[in-house]
Amino acid sequence: MKGVFVTGTGTEIGKTFVAAGLVYHLQKRGFQVGYFKPIATGGIRKKNGLSSPDVEYVKHLCGTHLAHQGYVFEEPVSPHLASRKTQIPIHLENIASQYLSLCKKYDLLIVEGAGGVAVPINDTGTLMTEVMHTIGLPIVLVGLAGLGTLNHTLLSVNFLQQNGLDILSIVLNKGERQELEQDNQKTLAYLTGIPVAGILPRIPGRVSMRKIQLAIENAEDIFVSVIERILHPKEKHHDS
């Protein structure tokens, strides 16, 4: 199965925007692509139960049939705390089973984590990296474009690599067209040896689905850069 696991240097970084952009542009190129959120908190209560806001986001942009969720908790807290408070344990084998089932339906899967790379999912020390290992896809790491991202992104890269995970690409988000952001992109590429696909701009003003769609369309070159690496991981590419 081809695809990626989208994670971030923290929460509210823009993982869902990046994941949705990859789904959108893969669909545009005719691929049967699915989206999977194995663990989510901050669930929205609907008639048929709790729904992940990130799943709803992807459904609005890309279609209701392709977005799938696993464990969903209502309170917007870390997965380990949500699991403890609801007394609903998170089992990696259940995530693996759902993932393998989805693999039979799609050409590619875009999987999105919850929170940052090291968020715990239970009280026994299991971290999000174990979910990544369970899925087995290469990583797209999303970080902020501005001041502070060098430290956060380098720490995240180091942690992922220490845990034996393959990072396919870094994407920087919420850019303000500042000079330091361009330097951050070059510095991260140099220090990590990992391609930095580009800087996605911050969406100005009140955010709507239409604005999000336009931003994804306008950033096609960045998303295509990541998609080329998904489809042809062993070929040389010309990112930063």
Q: Which residues are catalytic?
A: 37
Q: Who contacts 41 (Cβ-Cβ below 8 Å, separation ≥6)?
A: 72, 73, 74, 75, 76, 77, 78, 79, 82, 114
Judge whether 137 and 99 are in contact, CB under 8 Å: no
With CA atoms as reference, report the closest residue to 53 among 69, 29, 65, 66: 69
d(CA 28, CA 22): 10
Q: Please state whether beta strands 196-201 and 67-72 pair in parallel, antiparallel, or not at all (unpaired).
A: unpaired
Residue 146 neighbours by CB distance under 10 Å = 17
Half-sphere exposure in the Cβ direction for 143 (13 Å, CA): 27
User: How many residues appear in the chain?
Assistant: 240
Residue 162 neighbours by CB distance under 10 Å = 9
